[in-house]
Chains A and B, each alone.
Chain A
């Protein structure tokens, strides 16, 4: 425990800027994965344990597209669109068959696909780790804001994730399709009775969730090594975020992700040997005081 370091950081604008930015980076990347997870749970009532695989595929798709084209924009697009298509196929071919099934059955199917997807990546890209590398446009000196260090690439990352959060939030709240999705989440039988194709909605939501995770993977690819199974640790942290925020709540996922990011960032200064533990401790405190999470609703 190093509370002096933590206290001196709070007294230093430079340190506050650096650590807050660091927390936002960790948090916003987690948000992109967790929001897909929570969206799928909210609408489809499925705990998609294979969600981390979409993060992994997003990173590999982006790396491959970048190697082939040299275009960072195309790499990001490939990561997002590629995983959306993969999500749609996966939902239609497999997940749609276990809706309404026992939770254990859903988890087993998802876990089987975690292993299958890892092996697929191993077969296509090989077992050794890969690196996409940072595009030349972002190989620039970091910005210094109030003495704090902020890499330009991370500003882009935070911006894209925030934009995704705003578009998603407004889309669900203000558009017709958003209303239909919310209605399907609340009462799928009624939506179906109104002649709306719920299968299409479910497939679309799963694809959207996969796309967000894939986008997170693509954004992470320039700064993280790519390995088969890389989605697992992200999945665990995303589950923590989802549980803290409340299963099914997009606002909860955003707040949960930001809190976890900031806990990690400032915790590494004050509690260097307990940073991971802090995250779990926080989750326990939230669940004990509010079992449905910060923004979760009681299930009737």
Chain B
């Protein structure tokens, strides 16, 4: 049967009109949604022994977010940081990370946790699929181990294996020049201490095969008294000592070793010394401790780095830390990735971040890259030097060579079965 068309407005036209009307009415809502702030969650350590580092992470993030917001925000959306204290407890970090996304509506995570907590947050990011940038954990396996890899997680942090390659190479050159064959180690007895010391010794021996470790000490984390450890090292009579003690433990160790004149009896290599947290606290800093750079405003020796360090000090009345520059760089990466993706959608930003190179005050050549194949930061300024007891504290830093780092890192990954 043939259907006859009724006179007047057709159903299709009515629907089209209704659709257009709805779109017109909804336009302000859509506009509001696009203009609304973007919440970024940050679980970090704001209380306890490591609170100083967590606070410096928060400070650096807020410093950079202020700049991004002043320039119009992320794709036109003002950033609102939601920062919570995990107290350095992994289970609390995971709980907070989940809550920040599910309850507070955060669309991205900046993970300001130390290594133990970052693995917990990593699992939350894996579960929720939210974009996550780790900003403090140096444990190499976080991104080097393919089992840990997820497309939405990145690590914007210096890495243990990079430090060890540069440190081992630097220490080997000193060892050869001064004939330092007998070494001792003294590092905190937990994963970071054991792994970092092992990797440093691995590359020290690679570059100086004559070296022998004759004494190992593993004081517990946050041990107040190192007298027994110091006298044990003195008994062994090593020519050089390596330590990855850090923070208050390192300053206590130096104060106690000082009165045994330990620094006159052996060369000391303390990877975590060249950070303002330690440099400015030790009252009688011995001259000539060898250290890897953590954050000092004179390395890399560029006006951009010095200006950033001064700006931080002007705002917070203290110098930034190693965790500060890493967190600041993460915000810089986010900003550039959103520009590249022209979107704040997590998946699109993650795609834009992959392999992204940005201008950065902390880059060895003025840029840093989020390496595509393992989502980790490369190209940052890395080097070793010797301390003096006043500014600039480490006047002459010998920069590490990224070509060598890449070659040896690739060998290391192969040896660990990561590639």
- Decide: A18 and B283 in contact? CB cutoff 8 A: no
Q: Among the listed stretches A92-100, A242-250, A270-278, A284-292, which one makes contact with chain B, having 4 or more residues with CB under 8 Å of it?
A: A270-278
Task: Name the contact of B235 in the complex, choosing from A9, A233, A275 (C-beta under 8 A).
Answer: A9
Interface residue A141 (Cβ < 8 Å from any Cβ of B):
yes
Residue on B nearest A231 in the bound complex, by CB: B224
Picked from A18, A23, A275, the residue with its CB within 8 Å of the CB of B234 is A18
Task: Return chain B residues, CB-CB under 8 Å to A227.
Answer: 49, 248
Are the CB atoms of B228 and A265 closer together than 8 Å?
yes
The number of chain B residues with a CB under 8 A from chain A is 38
Number of A interface residues, CB 8 Å?
46
The answer for the CA separation of A170 and B277 in the assembled complex, in Å, is: 46
Asked if A129 and B52 make an inter-chain contact with CB atoms under 8 angstroms apart, the answer reads: yes
Complex interface: stretch among A147-155, A174-182, A190-198, A199-207: A147-155
Please report which residues of chain A, range 121-161, place their CB below 8 angstroms from some CB of chain B when the two chains form the complex. Answer: 127-134, 138-139, 141-142, 149, 151-154
Interface flag for B281 (CB, 8 Å) = yes
In the complex, the answer to whether A18 meets B255 with C-beta atoms within 8 Å is no
Task: Give, as a whole number of angstroms, the nearest-CB distance from A72 to chain B.
Answer: 13
A224 in contact (CB, < 8 A): yes
Contacts of A53 in B (CB 8 A): none
Establish whether residues B255 and A142, one from each chain, have CB atoms under 8 Å apart when the complex forms: no
Q: A133-B283, A134-B284 known; A223 and B247 CB under 8 Å?
A: no
The answer, yes or no, to whether B29 is at the interface (CB within 8 Å) is no
Within 8 A of A (CB), among B244-258: 247-249, 251-252, 255-256, 258
Closest chain B CB from A259 CB (angstroms)? 14
CB distance from B55 to the nearest CB of A (A): 7
On whether the beta carbons of A234 and B284 are closer than 8 Å, the reply is no
Specify the chain B residue showing the minimal Cβ separation from A25. Answer: B227
**Is A224 a contact partner of B252 (Cβ separation < 8 A)?**
yes
- When the two chains form their complex, are residues B51 and A131 in contact, meaning their CB atoms are under 8 A apart? no
Q: Is B216 an interface position by the 8 A CB rule?
A: yes
B316 at the interface (CB under 8 A from A): no
Complex: A269 Cα to B229 Cα, angstroms: 9
A264 at the interface (CB under 8 A from B): yes
Q: CB of A15 within 8 A of chain B?
A: yes
The CA-CA distance from A94 to B187 in the complex, in Å, is 42
Contact yes or no, B260 A151, CB < 8 A: yes
Task: Enumerate B212-226 residues with CB–CB distance to A below 8 Å.
Answer: 216-218, 220, 222-225
Q: Which of B192-227 contact A (CB under 8 A)?
A: 216-218, 220, 222-225, 227
Supposing A129-B247, A223-B256, A224-B225 touch, asked if A272 and B47 sit within 8 A by C-beta, the answer is no
Cβ of A154 and Cβ of B281 under 8 Å apart? no
Q: A272 with B217: in contact, given A9-B235, A128-B51, A131-B251 (CB under 8 Å)?
A: yes
Q: A268 — nearest CB in chain B belongs to which residue? A: B228
Q: Mark A21-33, 1 if CB is under 8 A from B, else 0.
A: 0110110010000
CB pair B281–A149 under 8 Å, yes or no, is no
For the complex, what is the distance from the CA of A22 to the CA of B259, rounded to whole Å?
12
Q: How far is the CB of A257 from chain B (nearest CB, A)?
A: 13
B261 CB within 8 Å of chain A: yes
Is B251 in contact with A225, judged by CB distance below 8 angstroms?
A: yes
Q: How many A-B residue pairs have CB under 8 A?
A: 110
A238 to chain B, nearest CB (A): 12
Shortest Cβ distance from A230 into chain B, in angstroms?
Answer: 7
If the complex has contacts A134-B255, A222-B255, A273-B218, are A127 and B51 also in contact, measured as CB distance less than 8 A?
yes
CA distance A223 to B230 in the complex (A): 13
Q: A134-B283, A151-B259 are in contact. Are A265 and B227 (CB under 8 A)?
A: yes
Looking at the assembled complex, report how far the CB atom of A125 sits from the nearest CB atom of chain B, in whole angstroms. 12
Q: Are B259 and A138 in contact (CB under 8 A)?
A: yes
Bound CA span A227–B220, Å = 16
Q: B205 to chain A: closest CB distance in Å? A: 21
Contact pick for B261, options A5, A138, A142, CB 8 Å: A142
Evaluate whether A233 and B222 lie within 8 angstroms (CB atoms) in the complex, with A223-B255, A265-B227 already known. yes
In contact, A26 and B224 (Cβ under 8 angstroms): no
CB closest residue in chain B, given A128: B52
Cα distance, A266 to B227, chains bound together (Å): 11
In angstroms, how far is the closest chain A Cβ from the Cβ of B282?
Answer: 6
In angstroms, Cα B223 to Cα A225, docked, is 10
In the complex, A220→B47 CA distance in Å? 24
Please name the residue on chain B nearest to A9 by beta carbon.
Answer: B235
Asked if residues A129 and B248 are in contact (CB atoms below 8 Å), the reply is yes
Q: Is the CB of A142 within 8 A of B260?
A: yes
B404 an interface residue at 8 Å Cβ cutoff?
no
Q: Is B231 an interface residue (CB 8 A)?
A: yes
A106 proximal to B (CB < 8 A): no
What residues of chain A lie closer than 8 Å to B222, measured between beta carbons?
233
A19 near B: Cβ within 8 Å? yes
* B259 and A133 form a contact (CB under 8 A): no
Given the known A-B contacts A223-B259, A233-B224, are A133 and B235 also in contact in the complex, defined by CB atoms under 8 Å?
no
Which residues from chain A contact B258 at a C-beta distance below 8 Å?
134, 139
Q: B231–A19 contact, CB under 8 A?
A: yes
Evaluate contact between B228 and A264: CB separation under 8 angstroms.
yes
Q: Is B339 on the interface with A (CB-CB < 8 A)?
A: no
Let me know if A225 and B252 touch, CB within 8 A: yes
Closest to A150 in B: B260
When chains A and B are docked, how far (Å) is the Cα of A151 from the Cα of B230? 12
**B220 engages A139 (CB within 8 Å):** no
Which of A128, A151, A276 has the most chain B CB atoms inside 10 A of its CB? A128
Binding site for A on B (CB under 8 A): 47-49, 51-52, 55, 216-218, 220, 222-225, 227-232, 234-235, 247-249, 251-252, 255-256, 258-261, 277, 281-284
**What are 25 residue pairs bridging A and B, where the CB atoms are less than 8 Å apart in the complex?**
A18-B231, A22-B227, A22-B230, A25-B227, A127-B51, A128-B52, A129-B247, A134-B259, A134-B283, A138-B259, A139-B259, A151-B259, A152-B259, A154-B259, A223-B252, A224-B224, A225-B252, A225-B255, A227-B248, A234-B224, A269-B232, A272-B216, A272-B218, A273-B218, A276-B220
Task: List the interface of chain A (C-beta within 8 A of B).
Answer: 5, 9, 15, 18-19, 22-23, 25-26, 29, 127-134, 138-139, 141-142, 149, 151-154, 220, 222-225, 227, 229-230, 233-234, 264-265, 267-269, 272-273, 275-276
Q: Report, nearest first, the 4 A-B pairs whose CB atoms are least far apart.
A: A133-B283, A129-B248, A225-B248, A128-B52
Supplied contacts A149-B261, A265-B231, A268-B229, 6 more A-B pairs, CB within 8 Å: A25-B227, A128-B277, A133-B283, A134-B258, A139-B284, A141-B261
